[in-house]
Structures are given as structure tokens and as C-alpha cells.
Structure 1
């Protein structure tokens, strides 16, 4: 398979991951209201590690030291990032958080530039700013006030930006499947230790919360995170961030369908702007212009 086809498949995988995460904002809110933070993380990531080990046991059995090391680094970053998002949901709404967390689309190019010493293309900065503006039109109903939930969501976006850059570096050097297994195992193990220290155990197990946990474990983690880890092997960090930012658009529309949020002209315009940002990031405009001139 040539590089162009690999990149197209990687783009599709990232958009699929964004779809899963967009649909998962509601599931995350349901889980956060039903269970303690580190119990959610321990069950989610240890469960995901179990399924990864079961589904991709050959890749896990043939793991190298580099796979384990990369997975542990990413798992540590995931352990630092995820509690911020879960706790934030107790102080803000899923639709607002959908906007706030995807500010990583603006942060990633600068972190990538800082770490890799490679300046992104100008279109990456333009696409990031364009996507952020569109997401703002969709998700914000009024002025943005930095309250506790907002601040934690923005802090999550910052830590997650480092995770995106680190994933891009590691995925190109190791087996993404083996790396994903050890990433979930590390995040889940650290969460389990923290849960036991804090004594976080649920008082009840409501059916809605259990269903939300199943979604977070199977779809959001085994599905979306693994797709991201594989896809970033074939594309840049900045490009990945723009495509993944589509999760906010999908998250909003899920809110409209599930909670009856109003669909306005502002939302439509915002969605078109985000879609335009994705096209700006994905398409090679110079090549398209050359073909037209020819």
C-alpha cells in the first residue's frame, strides 16, 4: 500500500475516533455522576487492557522493551489527563466541555514545534484557529467564563496536547497495538493504586452508569484510543489534532439528539467552519491548483 493510501486510511481512523469520542461526552457525564473518578479510570483502562490482550494477543506476546516503555509513558500521561476531564464534568456541561477540551487543536502545533523543533506548515495554524472558532460558535451560548469546570477542562486540553505529541513520536517507532495495551495497563494500574489509597468505591451500580462504563471501555478506549495510536504512525501531530477536534461537533449534535438542545443557524455556520478547517488541513491545495491549471 502506498503512502497516500495509508494517510487516507489514517485520516479516516482519526475521524472515526473523533466520532466515538464525540458520542462519548454524554457517556462520560453519566459515568461521572454515578461513580468515583479513579474507580471509573481503573475499570475503564484495566478492562480495555484485558480486551486488547484478548483481541491482539500475538502483538502483545511479541512485545519489545520499546513497546512497553512507550506504553508506560503514554499511560502515565493518560493517567494525568483523564481525571481532569472526569472531575470537570461535575462542574460543567458535556456540550461546553466538548468545546473546551478541543482547544488542544490550537495547543498541539506549538508543543510539537517546541519538542520536535519542526515548524508546522502555515495551513496547520490557520486550520487550528479556524476549527477553534467554529467549535466556539457551536458550543458556546454566551460569554466564556473560566469557572472550575472550565479551568479543569482547559488543563485537560493542555495535558492531552502533550499526549498527542508523545503518541506521534512513539507510534512511529513501536508496535501501536502492543503500545496501546501497555498504555491502558499503566493508566489502569496507576488508577487502581490511587483508588485504593483514596478508598473510592461506588455505593451503588446504576444500570445507566454501567452502560456508560461499557461504552467508555470498549468504544472510547479499545476503539478510539487504539485507532488514534495506529493512525498517528502515518500522519503529523498537528494534522491529527485538527481531525480529532471533530469530536466537539459530533458531541454537540449528540446533545441535540439526546437532550433536545436547540439547533440554530449559529450551529450550522460553526459546523461548516469546522468542516472547512478539516478540508484545509487534509487537502493538498497546491497540488489541486496545479491540476486545475494543467
Structure 2
């Protein structure tokens, strides 16, 4: 029995480690996705971008996991529809925001969702966050202020939209954690992509002009968003959340801001200012602090240390 228990513990640790690797890989993919998104909005309208991105991701998922998807039931369809509808409602915020801010700046603003997740989880799941989560929340507000507030202490439109998406994505992370533990995450991912894509296509056909020009840069950016950012990265997140907590997921995924900042400054010419860098480091520090686990001394040890020397000798 002990041997089986040890094997199970080792297996769980291995799954948790692989889940962490998957989440970091997803963060790297999303780091480049901010640049791809910024290029895409220069050539295509918002809902055509979303329709192409998510429908293409759904097709890719079906090609590789069609057998799993065909065996899915009501749980996967329902969970995917809920997540897909939420994404359809909030994804335009991120896409539109890129018209009014830089990719690296938006990445730092979106990283704030990592500090929001514990509080949303508290409201939804009744899991009270620890004191470090409160400290992290204050630091995130300070960091976001440095990044987004200009000289007149006003926030630009792109920053406001990015923060709105950040809060919405924190809700998305908590819901994904709930659903991933109750159904097949592959099937859930497929139906979420499909519903987001279908809803976006309907809105695009009704209210936006059909694209007539397809420049190579725009097409490549859409391909990156569909394949790397969605089919690969979001699926990695959905599967990984089956083996880790919501807060831990948010911490690792928020490192996308660091990768986006590096990619944006090095390869895309994003501005590098001390204020943005300091604000980004504060946000990143808040993310790390929110995950620190403070060790408590064992009760027995504390009692022994608190006893007078004479009492210890008598015992």
C-alpha cells in the first residue's frame, strides 16, 4: 500500500511539473501573440480577426483530436459554450485596445489578472486568499498606474480596454479551472473555439466589410494567432489546469508580459521607458509575491522554544 501511495505521489508530481512546463510554453506563445495581434489589426477588422482565429483553431483541433471530440458529451459542449461565449464578449477589448497602445505595454497591463484570480476565486469558490494575495493586489495597482497613467494622471483608451480584458480573463481562468476538472479539456477547448468563432463570424458578416486585400504580413499574423496563440497555447492551458490550481496557473501564464516586453522591444521597436519598465517589474513582482508560500513553524517546536530553559531540563 505504501509503495502504491509513493508511486501515485510521484506520478502526481510529474503531472504537475509537466503542467507547469505547458503553462510556461503557453506564456511564451502569447508573448509573441501581442505583436501578431498588433499587425493583424492594421490589416483586418476586429471580428474577422476573431472569426478567422477561432474557427481555424477549431478546425486544427478537430484534425488532430477528432476521435476524442466525437466522443464528447454534454459536459464538454456546455463548458465550451460558456467559455466560448465569454471569450466572444471580451476578446474584442484586447483586439481593439491594440489600436491605441503598444503590444509590450498591453502585456504588462494584462498581467494584472494573476493578482485578480485569487480574489475572484474567493468570491466564486469561497477560498479566502492569503495575506500575500492582498499585498500583490496593492502592488499591481501601483504598477499599473506607472505603466498606464500619463503626465496628466489620465488613462488612455487602450489602457482602459486592456484592464477590462485583464479582469475578464481572470474570470475566464477561474471558470476554466472549474470546468477542466469535470470534463475532457480537449473537447472543451474545441467547443469553446467553435462557439467563439461562429459568434464572431455572424457579427463580422452583419456589421463589418468583407476583407478584399490579404497582405502577407496580415495573413502570417492571423496564422500565428490561430495556430500558436489559440490551438496550441489555449489548449495547453486548458489541459494543464486539470493538474494545477487557478492561482498557480495565473502566475505562470502572466510571465507572458515579460516575454512580450522582450519581443516587443527587441523585434518590434516598442518604446523603452524607465517608467514602463519599473511599473512592469512591480507588476511582475506582485505576481511572484502572490504565489509565495510562507512556512509556519510546527506547533510543537514553537512550544518547546517558548519554554523556559529550566522546564526543558526537567523534561
Where on the TM-score scale, by shorter chain, does this alignment land: which range?
Answer: 0.7 to 0.9
Identify which of 166, 169, 172 aligns with 1:157. 166
Segment drifting more, 265-274 vs 99-108: 265-274
How has the CA–CA distance of structure 1 residues 15 and 125 changed in structure 2, closer, same or farther, with 3 Å as cutoff? farther
Paired position in structure 2 for 1:258? 267
User: Which residue number in structure 1 is paired with residue 72 of structure 2?
Assistant: 63
The Cα shift of 1:25 comes to: 0.5
Q: Tell me which residue corresponds to 2:90.
A: 81
| In 2, Cα distance between equivalents of 1:8 and 1:132 | 31
**Mean Cα deviation higher: 19-28 or 103-112:** 103-112
| Gap runs ≥5 in structure 1 | none
Secondary structure of 1:56's aligned partner: helix
| 2:217 is aligned with 1:225 | no
Contact 2:116/2:167 (<8 A) preserved: yes
Report what 1:20 is aligned to. 29
Alignment match, 2:108: 99
- Map of 2:249 onto structure 1: 240
Inter-partner Cα distance in structure 2 for 1:3 and 1:129: 34
Mapped partners of 1:198, 1:263: distance in 2: 37
Q: Name the larger-Rg structure.
A: 2
User: Could you report, residue by residue, the CA deviation over 1:211-238 in whole angstroms, capped at 9, with x for unpaired residues?
Assistant: 0000000000011111111111122222
CA distance in 1, matches of 2:134, 2:141: 11
Q: Give the stretch that moved more between structures: 81-90 or 268-277.
A: 268-277
Match of 2:124 among 106, 115, 119: 115
After TM superposition, give the deviation of residue 41 of structure 1 in Å.
0.6
Matched with 2:200 is 191
SS at match of 1:2: helix
* Match of residue 212 from structure 1: 221
2:128 counterpart SS class: coil
Task: Decide whether aligned partners of structure 1 residues 107 and 274 sit closer, same or farther in structure 2, where only a CA change above 3 A counts.
Answer: closer
Check 1:90–1:51 CA distance in 2 against 1; reply closer, same or farther (3 A cut): same
Give the deviation of 1:124 after TM superposition. 3.7
Partner Cα distance (1:238, 1:105) in 2: 7
Q: Are 2:264 and 2:270, in contact at CA under 8 Å, matched by a contact in 1? A: yes
In 1, the alpha carbon distance for the partners of 2:240 and 2:76 equals 16
TM-score, normalised by the number of residues in structure 2: 0.82
Mapped contact 1:135–1:249 kept (Cα < 8 A): no
Any unmatched runs of 5+ in structure 2?
A: 1-9, 302-315
Which residue does 1:171 correspond to in 2? 180
CA positional deviation for 1:106: 2.5
Deviates more, 1:81-90 or 1:93-102: 93-102
State which drifts further: 83-92 or 261-270.
261-270
Q: Which SS does the other structure have where 1:9 is aligned?
A: helix
What is the RMSD computed on CA atoms of the aligned residues? 2.7
